[in-house]
Every structure is written in structure tokens, then in C-alpha cells.
Amino acid sequence: MIIETIISTIDTKKKVNFAPFGIKKNKNFIFISPYIPSKTLENLKENKIATVNYTDKSSFFINCIIKKKRFKKRKCFKINGYFLKDALAHDEVVVESVKNDKVRPTFKCRIVNQCSHNRFEGFNRADASLIEACILASRVKILGKDFILNSLKNLYIPVEKTGGKLEKHNFDLIKNYILEKF
């Protein structure tokens, strides 16, 4: 199963990078598979640490995609990294091994600390659609234009039915971002 998260990593100058990532989890391990090239990949290789942020706010995913990553953050407790201040929870991880691949190497990371911060208030279908739209945005160069546009049309239905002003605004942001890429 893939869990959609926000990964935070740091570079050698301690600059934080936030990126949306689908991770796999197995007991005390998290598997992160960044595409080549990516900042997350560079940072994992350089520092061998990451923070996996769990959130129910699709705004984090959208702002990562459209490059507006000015998030409030806090210092981690067991690693030299940062977590999202508004995350529901976070895991601090250390890279144990790397399985090389020409497209997406996989970093096997051991969880060294787990923290819960906020209460989960439930699912919203609009947020799920927004996260799916972010995944489409990250694959504009891979997927066909017709497929993406049809998918966006279908993804807007739950946003329109169940979302509020913020979700509708965020859908416009990600849709416009995608359209600019064609």
C-alpha cells in the first residue's frame, strides 16, 4: 500500500526541502523511492535522514507542486531535520540501505522516532481528489494531455460536491499549473 505524505529532507547547508511522496511502510521501516533527478534524492544521499509528515491538508501537496513551500516547521527530536508544524504526525527516519535503480532508487529507512501532534478529523473526498490532481501534475511529461484533462474533469466532481472555498481555490491552482505545462 502506498501512503501519500510530505517528506522533508535537508541539504548540506541545512536548507529544508518539502516534497509530496507516496511511501511504503513495513513495520519499523519506510521505503522512499524518489525519481532521478530530484532534490529529495540528493538530500537522502548526502545526509541519510528524512522526516515523513502525515497530513490531512491537501494544501501542503498543492503548494509543494506549485513551488510555494514556505511552511512552518519545527526541529525534529532524534534526527537533525524538521517536521511540518501542522502535521498530524511525523516519523523521523534514517537511511539503512539503498536499492539502486536507473529511474527510482529505493531508500530503506529505519524509523527512529514517531510523534503525534494533532487530532484526525476525518476524510474529505475533495482533499483526496486534490491529492490525485497533484499526482497528475507531477506526471505531466509522462501522461497524455487527453488523459490528464479527462481525469481533472472527473476529479473536480467531488471537489464541487464536498469541498469548501479553499478546496475549490486549490483545485483551480493545480489545474492552472497543469494547463501551463502543456
Residue 91 is predicted with a pLDDT of 98
The last residue of one of the domains, among 116, 138, 156, is 116
- Rounded-to-integer distance, Cα 156 and Cα 175, Å: 10
If asked whether residues 11 and 57 sit together in one domain, one would say yes
- Rounded-to-integer distance, Cα 137 and Cα 154, Å: 15
The last residue of one of the domains, among 75, 97, 116, is 116
Domain count, the chain: 2
The whole-model pTM stands at 0.94
Residue 24 is predicted with a pLDDT of 98
- Rounded-to-integer distance, Cα 150 and Cα 162, Å: 20
Residue 109 is predicted with a pLDDT of 98
If asked whether residues 163 and 107 sit together in one domain, one would say no
Domain membership of residue 157 as a residue range: 125-181
Please write the tens of the pLDDT for every residue from 71-127: 999 999 999 999 999 999 999 999 999 999 999 999 999 999 999 999 999 999 999
Q: Are strands 82-84 and 73-75 parallel, antiparallel or unpaired?
A: antiparallel
If asked whether residues 99 and 143 sit together in one domain, one would say no
Cell numbers of 109, please?
529507512
Cell numbers of 2, please?
502506498
- Rounded-to-integer distance, Cα 176 and Cα 179, Å: 5
Please write the tens of the pLDDT for every residue from 26-54: 999 999 999 999 999 999 999 999 999 99
- Rounded-to-integer distance, Cα 46 and Cα 10, Å: 9
